[in-house]
Amino acid sequence: MASSIEVTVPRLGWSMEEGSFCRWLKEEGEMVREGDGLYELEGDKATQVVESFDAGVLRIGPDGPQSGDIVKVGQVLAHLEPRGGKAAAPKAPAAQQAQAAPAATNGNGAKAAEKKTNGAPAPNGNGSHAAAAPAAQPPQAAVPEKTSASTAPVASPSVRRLARELGIDLQKCDRDDPSPLSAAELMRLAAQPSAQPAATPVARAVVSGDVAVTPRAKRVASELNVDPADAVGSGRNGRIREQDVRAIAANASSKPAAKVSAASAGGAAIGEPITQIRRVIAQRMMAASHETAPVTLTARADASELVRFRDECKRTSVERGVNPPSYTELFVKLCAAALEKHPALLDQWVNERLVKAEGVNIAVAVATPNGLMTPVIRDVPRLSLRELSASFANLIELARTQRLAADQMRGGAFTVSSLGGYRVEAFTPILNPPQTAILGIGRISEQPVAKQRQLVVADVVNLSLTFDHRVVDGAPAAAFLTSLCDVIENPLAWLLG
């Protein structure tokens, strides 16, 4: 009888360690076909439908995940059993196996003993004799002796394509099963640490008790006079990182104020649980603050021509019954023009190397009820203004309805964040690692401007460029900001070209 197939938590991104389980899309005992949506999982800033790579009857155990449960990458959530078969019992942890009873028991609770007749094995139903064993073991196929030259397991073209997308070298898969490699098994391999792409060697973590602590986290803990053992590790296998140490230090400093607040309320403080999206945003903001060298440059640009262009677009759009482009879309298009002149701002610092971007893919910060999202508009210079507007409108709708896929937020090389819809003149945007730069756009307001020794009123916008000084020096960043101001002040050639 064919064995059941485990339903596990996939790694939706290489930085993902855990996710928040949302809900099952199939019921217990329901037939699942290959490609069917099994459940919804909230991962890195997005809720995704996880599809099944195999077919079978869904069996959810009594300890199956509930809505809101935090699940780890690789965790078994349920099983798919073949039609008419029985699901295999979940594997018990090694510690439980070690504590298991040394001998099997029969239905009456007594130990199963080998029955003998005059020193010979008991006869079976056919009258012949068969030796009794302490526990029935399935027949094991002979395993060929491993050689130094490993060969890739048998796999279908779709599984091989998935392996390439996950960065898994099938030649290095340690697998003795001669049967074809399934997509589900490949996803389990991707969830293992050994399946991740090789990264630049880092310092080994020191161990504090039973918890690993990175050397950097230990140094920061000494500087802040905190015990790293009190931190909740966010790294792999619970490893304590620098941001975890800083988190408990910040929490310790805020405790007195929290007590006063609770006392003034006349009872214990009751907080809301942090969502997975909020947790990811916090981690990335902390990473941007502590793992980059951010510098912010500011400039003012005369946006009078841009305002006139949009007013004309609004007038003609009403006549044609379409929506005019927003200022954010216009600035994204103009940023792409400036980035083509200064591509160094698209480079990224990854694993101690500078990685060149493939195309001008611009992420746009979008505020949603669940937190900040950054969908990516790809190959912006190739898009016409109408195509860009349609693409951005679709991404905003997906983001605000929690239907934005993780792939639609990957691959951005530059971010645009606009608060122009509020009464915000200027602000300091925070980098979105591993990106090198982010542009903050304030509101457009009428201000006095000197032109040809005369004072006139113009529509002025404040621009704030935050960049990573590890990748780009001040002069190239300033040159980009200058070019951007130039295209904003003379936008027609870039918007209509």
Residue positions annotated with a catalytic role: 469, 473
Q: State the DSSP code for 111.
A: B
Beta pairing, strands 414-418 & 437-451: parallel
CA distances to 301, 416, 466 from 336, in Å: 17, 11, 16
Residues 6+ apart with CB under 8 A from 211: 228, 229, 233, 238, 239, 240
- Which residue reads 């002979």 in tokens? 142
CA distances to 93, 120, 136, 187, 276 from 98, in Å: 9, 33, 19, 28, 35
Single out the residue of 379, 420, 373 nearest to residue 399, CA to CA: 373
User: Which structure tokens are listed for 458?
Assistant: 């113009």
Residues 6+ apart with CB under 8 A from 67: 21, 22, 23
CA distances to 305, 416, 428, 475, 478 from 485, in Å: 12, 15, 18, 15, 11
H-only helix segments in 321-359: 327-341
Q: What angle do CA 371, 376, 378 make, to 5 degrees?
A: 175
CA distances to 383, 446, 462, 464, 472 from 419, in Å: 24, 16, 11, 11, 25
Q: What CA–CA distance (Å, rounded) separates 267 from 273?
A: 19
Single out the residue of 306, 289, 307, 328 nearest to residue 442, CA to CA: 328
Single out the residue of 341, 302, 244, 262 nearest to residue 457, CA to CA: 302
Q: What CA–CA distance (Å, rounded) separates 210 from 218?
A: 15
Contact between 444 and 459 (Cβ < 8 Å): yes
Contact between 43 and 276 (Cβ < 8 Å): yes
Contact between 420 and 461 (Cβ < 8 Å): yes
User: Which structure tokens are listed for 51?
Assistant: 């599809």
Contact between 419 and 442 (Cβ < 8 Å): yes
Single out the residue of 408, 404, 413 nearest to residue 432, CA to CA: 413
